[in-house]
Every structure is written in C-alpha cells, then in structure tokens.
Amino acid sequence: MLARLMQGDEACAEGAIAAGCRFFAGYPITPATEIAEALARRLPQIGGWFIQMEDEIASLAAAIGASLGGVKAMTATSGPGFSLMQEHIGYAAMAEIPCVIVDVQRLGPSTGRPTSPSQGDVMQARWGAHGDHPIIALSPSSVRETFDLTVAAFNYSERYRTPVILLMDEVIAHMRERVVLPEPDAIELVERPETTVPPEWYKPYEDWPTDVPPLAPFGQGYRYHVTGLHHDQRGYPTEQLEEVQEWAERFFRKIERGLSDILLHTEDGVDDAETLVIAYGATARSAAHAVAMARQRGHKVGFLKLMTIWPFAEDIVDQAAARLHHVVVPEMNHGQLALEVERVVGRNKVRRVNRLDGELIRPVEILTAIEERLI
C-alpha cells in the first residue's frame, strides 16, 4: 500500500470507484466540482460513464435512471444544487432506488460565499424533501474518512435500497492529506440482492424477510412500474389504506432495524468524563484538538464524533451524556444538530459553539466553552 497526497474531493471520487460506482451525472459547482473532474477522467478508464447534465435536477434524475438499469450511480453538488435535488431525493426514497448524493457544504444562504465552509445543510439533508421518510446521511472529518464513508454510502444504499447523502464540507473537500488507501480486496462491497423468480412473478415492493425486496434491473426481462405515488407490491399506484400502511411500516422498518449497522461513531474518554464534546465533519478536527488541550489542563473531557448524522444517534448520545451536566456542540451553523442533542439530553445541558462567517471554528473557542462551567 502506497501513501498518497490526496484532496478530499479526489478521495470521494476514488471511494466511489472502489465501491463499484460506474455512473456519474453532475453539474459543476464550487466546492464539489473536483469530484466531477476526477470522475470524468477515471470512469471512462474502467468502463464507466460520466455525463455533465444541464442542471442538478437532471443530474440526480440521470443517476436514478442509471441505478434502475443496475448500475451503482452517484451525483455531487453543493448547497444551491442540493436544494434543487430535493424533489428527486424524495422520489428516490419513495421508489426505493439506490443512489448516492454528495453535498459539499458551503456558506449560504443563496449564493453566499461559494469558497467558504459551512455545515448549514444538516437539516436540509434530513427534511429538505417533503413528506415523512427515512434518510441516511454521513459526514467525514478527514480525507481518508471521506474515502471510507463514500464506500459506506454506496454499501448502505445498496443494502437498504435507499438514497444516501454524503454530507461533506468545503474544508474536507479541498484539504490535502497523506493517506494510505486499502487494497481493493480488503474493501467490503455490498451488492443489491438479485431476484430468483421469473419476470411474471416479480414484485418490486413485496414484503421481504429483510424488509428490502430485491430490485431487478431494467433491460434484463423484468418490466415493472416505478412511481412517486404510493404503490402496491407490484409498483402500481394504490389508494387502498392497508396497502399504503403496510408499505409505510416496511419503508421505515428497513432503516430502523439496521441502526446498529448504520450509526457510525467514535468515542474517546467518555466513561469518566465530566464534560462531553459532540462534533462532526471538519469541526470534529478542531474539537479533537480542543479536547486534547483541555485534558492537558487536567479536565476530564470526553469526545463523541458522529460520522452518521442521520438517522440521529439518539441512544448513543443519551448514553454518553446521561450522567453529565455539560455538553458542548460546535458547528459551522446556527445550531442545527445541537437541536437534536438538546432534544435528547435537555437544553440546559448544551453549550453551543457556532460560527456563520465562513471560517472554521478554532480549538480555543471550543476550549473556552469546555471550561465555562468547570471553573
């Protein structure tokens, strides 16, 4: 294994290829454009397809179509383009079509500062698409972690037959780090289960022991209906309440039963902590440094880094913070994931550390929040 100097966006592209992605459709946008540039070079080399679409709406539509054809597919964008994709994210969730959407967050609202970092799309990732639906969103805090979580995003997408969001930020996307990537045969790859029944028996949304029915690719003799309407087990629209209810229960259950697999996180010094810091993405880098500084000063500080943002790891957060009275949540936004932490542990316990000016939160700002109630 050779060490490489690699940019975060490049690591995302390489992770996609390692995961088996063979189709990318996208539209240039700062700070995600390098993902498209890398895949425009790499995919044709391995028999894949790259296409630049006319906008972000068409980009995700093309990825959805490629996925229905049996190909692992991805698109990448930033905040404004991510907003445009929301209708199709909801469609992919409703129709249970695997695909990966990368959102490299930048400072907004609107055009904002396109080259500055932010974590302002956390709630958009969860609730941007209308209606009630589950979603998986992952957030890396290093270049190597970007590679790993891109692979995980594809695996989750195929395993649970759902769109998965990789919620990066400009700092991670544009930074360069020395990384050692795993050998291809050491990477776990998940492939969508294949149906074993003949086309005339196939039901794309039937009840299944895993709650994830096989998805047969178009073009191989299987013809079935795909719609954004509530549908029966054959995929045809239905207004039968029992069919809608049974589908909805399975729709949520497939994610809920997989939480132990989906909720990625790391803990450090939580068991004997007096203060807990919860962070994700680029801010987790500053948080880790702040925790180290606090410990050098003799403070008992635990660190919980969330790599899975959605579903929110409420049981993990509750267990880590249950006996504590001081929880620090730094974010490059006005306090989006902090709302979830407060919901679980109580608002009075939480000290927010926020920046909305397009600058990374400094470790000393987090250290100050740690020490506020300890002095």
9 pLDDT above the threshold of 90: yes
77 inside domain: yes
pLDDT, tens digit, for every residue of 73-121? 999 999 999 999 999 999 999 999 999 999 999 999 999 999 999 999 9
pLDDT value of residue 17: 98
Q: Name the DSSP class of 141.
A: S
Which of the four pLDDT bands, split at 50, 70 and 90, describes residue 374? Answer: low
Q: Are residues 25 and 174 in the same domain?
A: yes
How many other C-beta atoms are found inside a 10 Å radius of the C-beta of residue 109?
Answer: 10
Nearest to 81 by CA among 103, 56, 111: 56
How many other C-beta atoms are found inside a 10 Å radius of the C-beta of residue 36?
Answer: 24
207 inside domain: no
- Say how many domains are in the chain: 2
Domain extent, residue 296, equals: 266-372
How many other C-beta atoms are found inside a 10 Å radius of the C-beta of residue 200?
Answer: 7
pLDDT value of residue 219: 84
- pLDDT (mean) for 120-124: 98
CA geometry: angle at 340 spanning 260 and 275, to 5°? Answer: 85
150 inside domain: yes
Q: Give the span between the Cα atoms of 362 and 215, in whole angstroms.
A: 46
CATH code where residue 63 lies: 3.40.50.970
Q: Which of 186, 214, 248 is the last residue of a domain?
A: 186
Q: Which of 161, 186, 211 is the last residue of a domain?
A: 186
Radius of gyration in angstroms for the set of CA atoms belonging to the chain, rounded to a whole number = 21
Which of the four pLDDT bands, split at 50, 70 and 90, describes residue 375? Answer: low
pLDDT, tens digit, for every residue of 255-313? 999 999 999 999 999 999 999 999 999 999 999 999 999 999 999 999 999 999 999 99
249 inside domain: no
136 inside domain: yes
> Residue 108 is which amino acid?
G
Q: Are residues 50 and 176 in the same domain?
A: yes
CATH code where residue 271 lies: 3.40.50.920
pLDDT, tens digit, for every residue of 317-367? 999 999 999 999 999 999 999 999 999 999 999 999 999 999 999 999 999
79 inside domain: yes
Q: Is the peptide bond before 31 cis (omega within 30 degrees of 0)?
A: yes
Backbone angles phi, psi at 164, to 5 degrees: -125, 135
Q: Give the span between the Cα atoms of 35 and 153, in whole angstroms.
A: 15
Q: Which of 119, 152, 186 is the last residue of a domain?
A: 186
Q: Are residues 35 and 126 in the same domain?
A: yes
Q: Give the span between the Cα atoms of 330 and 366, in whole angstroms.
A: 7
Q: Are residues 27 and 176 in the same domain?
A: yes
Q: Are residues 158 and 306 in the same domain?
A: no
Q: Name the DSSP class of 237.
A: B
Q: Are residues 158 and 24 in the same domain?
A: yes
Contact 188, 155 (CB under 8 A): yes
pLDDT value of residue 124: 98
Taking the alpha carbons at both ends of the chain, their separation in whole angstroms is: 48
Mean pLDDT, the chain, rounded, equals: 96
2 pLDDT above the threshold of 90: no
257 inside domain: no
Which residues, listed in sequence order, are joined to residue 76 by a DSSP beta bridge? 102
pLDDT value of residue 1: 66
Q: Are residues 173 and 273 in the same domain?
A: no
Which of the four pLDDT bands, split at 50, 70 and 90, describes residue 65? Answer: very high
Q: How much is the pTM? A: 0.96
pLDDT, tens digit, for every residue of 222-245? 889 999 999 999 999 999 999 999
Percent of the chain residues topping a pLDDT of 70: 99
